[in-house]
Amino acid sequence: MNRLGAYLTALTAASALVAGPQTGQPFVDSLFLATHNSYSGNVDGAKNSIPYQLDHGVRFVELDVHDNGYAANHDYSIGHSSPGDLVDHNGNPASNLLRDWLNMIAGWSNAHPTHAPLVVMLDLKDDLTDNPNFATGNLTALNAELQSAFGSSLLHPADYVGSPSVDSLRGRVLTLLSGDSGTRTEYKRDVGYHPAVAVNGRGRIVEVHDSGGGALWYWTGTLGADGTVTWLRHGKYDSGVTPAVALNDAGQLVEVHQSQTATTLWYHVGQLGADGEITWQDSHQYDNGVTPTVAFTGSGSLLEVHKSQSSSQNWTWNGVLSGATVSWSGNAKTSSALLPKSSARGVTVYTGADGPTEASTLRYTDSGVTGGRIRYQQTAFDEFQDGDNAVLQQGALFYAAPATDSSFIVAGRQSGHLVRGWDFDSAGDATTPLANYPATNTPWTPWYQSLVSAAVQ
């Protein structure tokens, strides 16, 4: 057989194995064609376009993602060292915007509803934890983009139960976070200090806390009938310490906190939107003191209690919410205790380690959940790489390392994980067992096709 014939035979065999029956084959025991820097096509390597890759059996594609320009584009960008770097637009989207590339892949998936499970990996080249809210491209924004692109085809980590077969996952797309380890770690847990919570009669939740370094952050969510909280939006809103928050049924909120560097007390008015985002008004100083607490006593009336900055005496204010401000009156000493701020309507927030996580991990307990993490919705899977921290290893399905890191790849396979070996560009990189996803820059070479085909068989 000549070289072309051998290539076509190997290509046909491998493509059939990764896209064909594999009836009953456990997903974690299966091997798939995979490409490294899939977006780079023939600019870097010899891969051709992503649609071509998918048409010819590739079931793991990588997109390198940057947040540079998010404010202007309202989207992330594709590229290796920077947006547009090493991007092959031939047969791929003309733009570098992530949304266009995800929609292209989703369109292919929708047109091939029986395809073997497809992994779309985002290699995060930038730190997304310094994006202070949804509008600037934090992980809530990334989640929303993934969900919008893939819809009901998207397989969430919570949907991955037991040891599913390849057949049971046909037509599904699994998104995977790789790259910046700080971002991947924050995706699995959030940390903070002095958490406070408010829950209104409609089951809407606002949590506030300080960073321990002077920043004030919020989470919003909804409380389900089963007691599970769906956390919706996350963001930074000011600087300070020891915050507290009150929330009424109209979604109006009043937040109080102490200055980071002084004993001045400040308040914000905010409006919680239907999407879970808060529109914050400017902060205003209303007194001096420490450890402020606040609660609604009516739809627009408030009670605030704080401690003196110079003694154990507590002081109180009455407030009336009017538009973007509160009118405070009736300041007086009080024998009343500080108002409860860490529990509301059966929801309690606190900090505590969860397995390998830090003692400052933000957690909650209610009627349906004990010790849940306050964190981003787990829309994507989170990759564990050789050398990563224990938080990233906890519960990870996907493992990854350079293709030359044979001991890690073998150990990962033997422990029942889905393992990626990147820069798999030589037959000498092969291990026994082979990585589930030997991610190569040259997927159409006969040695690669034959190797994957032989390993599957």
Same domain for 231 and 157, yes or no, is no
In a domain, 437, yes or no: yes
Q: What is the pTM of this model?
A: 0.94
Same domain for 180 and 201, yes or no, is no
Same domain for 398 and 449, yes or no, is yes
Question: What's the pLDDT score for residue 18?
Answer: 44
List % helix, strand, coil for the chain (3-state, nearest 5). 25, 35, 40
Same domain for 356 and 398, yes or no, is no
d(CA 218, CA 196): 10
| Residue indicated by tokens 């009043």 | 254
Same domain for 368 and 248, yes or no, is yes
Same domain for 33 and 160, yes or no, is yes
Are the C-beta atoms of 227 and 368 separated by less than 8 Å?
yes
Cis peptide preceding 164, ω within 30 of 0: no
Question: What's the pLDDT score for residue 453?
Answer: 85
Question: What's the pLDDT score for residue 355?
Answer: 98
Is pLDDT of 12 > 60?
no
Is pLDDT of 195 > 60?
yes
Same domain for 180 and 195, yes or no, is no
Is pLDDT of 160 > 70?
yes
Question: What's the pLDDT score for residue 14?
Answer: 44
Question: What tokens were used for 103?
Answer: 């929609």
Question: What's the pLDDT score for residue 164?
Answer: 97
Q: Give the pLDDT band of residue 82 (cuts 50, 70, 90).
A: very high
Question: What's the pLDDT score for residue 22?
Answer: 52
| Percentage of the chain exceeding pLDDT 70 | 95
**How many domains are contained in the chain?**
2
| Percentage of the chain exceeding pLDDT 90 | 92
Domain of 130, in residue numbers: 29-186+378-455
Mean pLDDT, residues 357-364: 98
Same domain for 97 and 39, yes or no, is yes
Same domain for 47 and 154, yes or no, is yes
**Helix or strand (DSSP H, E) at 246:** strand 241-247
Q: Give the pLDDT band of residue 23 (cuts 50, 70, 90).
A: low
Name the domain boundary from 357, 373, 389: 373
